[in-house]
Amino acid sequence: MKILMIAPQPFFEVRGTPLSVLGRLTALSRLGHEVDLLTYHVGETLAIPNVAIFRILSIPFIRHVPIGPSIRKLFLDILVIAKAFRMLLRTRYDVIHTHEEAGFFGIVLGKLFRVPHLYDMHSSLPEQLGNWKYGRFPPVIRLFERLERLVINKSHVIIAVCPALEERVRCTNDRIPCVLIENVPLTREPETVSEAEVAQFNMAHSLGTERVVLYIGTFESYQGLDILIDAAVTILRAHGDVVFVFMGGKPDQIQRAQRQVIALGLEARFRFTGTRPTDETLVAIRSAHILVSPRRRGTNTPSKVYAYLQAGKPIVATSIAAHTQVLTSEVALLVDPHPESLARGICALLENPEFGDRLGKRARLLFEDRYSVRRFIGQTQQALRLLPAADRHDVESPGDSGNPLSP
């Protein structure tokens, strides 16, 4: 199949939706489909077999696109629409595959050019607006609720990246084919990380014999890093051999977190690495003793959760919908999103490593059972097979013999 994928994000950056886009591209590539990816002008260019990356016009004064809605993003999306139109005029595509807000114009382009539309739903956009300053404007939220219903009703197939989004689609229109494909790591296995890589990471960040509590992800307010930093006061009072490693964040966000740490007098027990390549995050996970996700709100499962499960390490996460639709008390220690509760959870694992080992082993078993790479690629192929037969040439990959991993 010839697919036009529209991803209105910086690609590639190590953060939620771009990681999901990378996963989908990798799956489509392994299935043998040909993909033209249309994305923003910013981001790292990756070499992916069968994938050609097309970017909008480079805007010199826009070098960074922050997470969340913004006027800057709206301007860039207009350029994306214009380029997508030109690409569809030049090339006959079998599918238009859109991510996030690109679904709004994907349904229009699909109808105009008579191409089936596959919507990759990473979040509920009205809910996402509510997490930002736009939540103070109810008319804006209502507008996006109507637009979201329109995209769901007019798409041919929808991919939902977590159970909460699948349920949202079903409640809106249960006649639209919807495939749940949760984001799983498609990089190297944790077991392939060598002791030499771990030693190099530890040396680079001045980690000795201390026990490492690791957070990986963005530094947006909903991630709850302030909760974890406040919890560290109690944790370090009981366990002075702990170091907190925060991997991710933009420079200004890191500075804010560092100021909070310094105000508490804990700067010697924290390491801030900044955003690092995906391979290095695996090394960090291998180095860690406890993996933590202190998110305070949300329904979309963070992509880090699947990497945490795959690692087979003890996990402490807040008991909110974003986590509990994947994590249970069998595989993670779930706590309230408050410093005291988070501190108690982490201390419990520090004081009972055997309990943590049991959680980690069950977490890895859950990952292998429900979130394997083979399953992920097979589900991607299933979504393609649900597209209208009359509007496509063939959903099988060239030379496909039924094996979802065939190149």
Query: What is the rounded average pLDDT of the residues 204-218?
Result: 95
All structural domains of the chain, each given as residue ranges with its CATH number in brackets, are 2-184+372-391 (3.40.50.2000), 190-370 (3.40.50.2000)
| pLDDT score for 402 | 38
Q: What would the two tokens of residue 223 be?
A: 């991630």
- The Cα 146–Cα 135 span in angstroms is 15
Listed ranges 135-139, 189-193, 268-272; the one with the highest mean pLDDT: 268-272
Query: What is the rounded average pLDDT of the residues 90-111?
Result: 96
* pLDDT tens per residue across span 313-367: 999 999 999 999 999 999 999 999 999 999 999 999 999 999 999 999 999 999 9
- The Cα 1–Cα 94 span in angstroms is 6
Read off φ and ψ for residue 253, nearest 5 degrees: -70, -40
Closest CA to 376 of 37, 30, 116: 30
| pLDDT score for 398 | 37
Whole-model pTM? 0.81
Mean pLDDT of the chain: 91
376 within 8 A of 184, measured Cβ to Cβ: yes
Closest CA to 272 of 259, 263, 291, 286: 259
Residue 81: band (very low, low, confident or very high) from pLDDT cuts 50, 70, 90: very high
246 within 8 A of 224, measured Cβ to Cβ: no
What is the DSSP secondary structure assignment for residue 249, as one 8-state letter?
Answer: -
What is the DSSP secondary structure assignment for residue 389, as one 8-state letter?
Answer: G
Q: What would the two tokens of residue 134 be?
A: 């736009």
| pLDDT score for 187 | 67
- The Cα 388–Cα 172 span in angstroms is 20
**Tokens 């963070």, residue located:** 302
| pLDDT score for 125 | 80
CA 171 to chain centre: 24
> Which residue type, as a one-letter code, is found at position 65?
V
Lowest mean pLDDT among 158-172, 207-221, 282-296, 392-406: 392-406
Read off φ and ψ for residue 70, nearest 5 degrees: -165, 160
How many other C-beta atoms can be found within 10 angstroms of the C-beta atom of residue 337? Answer: 17
- The Cα 222–Cα 128 span in angstroms is 11
CA dihedral 22, 23, 28, 30 (to 10 degrees): 110
